[in-house]
Amino acid sequence: MIKKFKEAPVAYLISIMTVLLAVLVYLQGSGTVHGQAATWLTTAVGILQLILGFAVRAKVTPVAAPKDNLGRALVPAKLIPPAR
């Protein structure tokens, strides 16, 4: 499971956040959690989402300037001329 997480961290974290938000909405909708407790839970989920978002930001290769694990720029071995 850890290996798959390393391959697609954003997909896993989106799944985790979706489940957390679904549980939160269910608890609020059913009346189990209401008032200030609902506010605290919503805030906690929002902060968790922020932290997890920053945690995976570095794990996603940027499209504008992709680099390998050592920080070297990824360039094609052979430049292909554009089709005319």
pLDDT in tens, 8-45: 777 788 888 888 888 888 888 898 888 898 889 888 88
How would DSSP label each residue in 38-49? HHHHHHHHHHHH
pLDDT in tens, 35-81: 898 889 888 888 988 888 787 776 665 566 677 778 888 777 676 66
Question: In terms of residue numbers, what domain contains 14?
Answer: 1-84
**CB-count burial class (<10 Å; 0-12, 13-18, 19+) for 21:** middle
- Answer yes or no: are the C-beta atoms of 38 and 28 closer than 8 Å: yes
CA 23 to the chain's CA centroid: 18
- Answer yes or no: are the C-beta atoms of 27 and 45 closer than 8 Å: no
Dihedrals φ, ψ of 73, to 5°? -65, 135
Which amino acid is present at 77? Answer: A
Residue 61: predicted pLDDT: 54
Split into its structural domains, the chain has a count of: 1
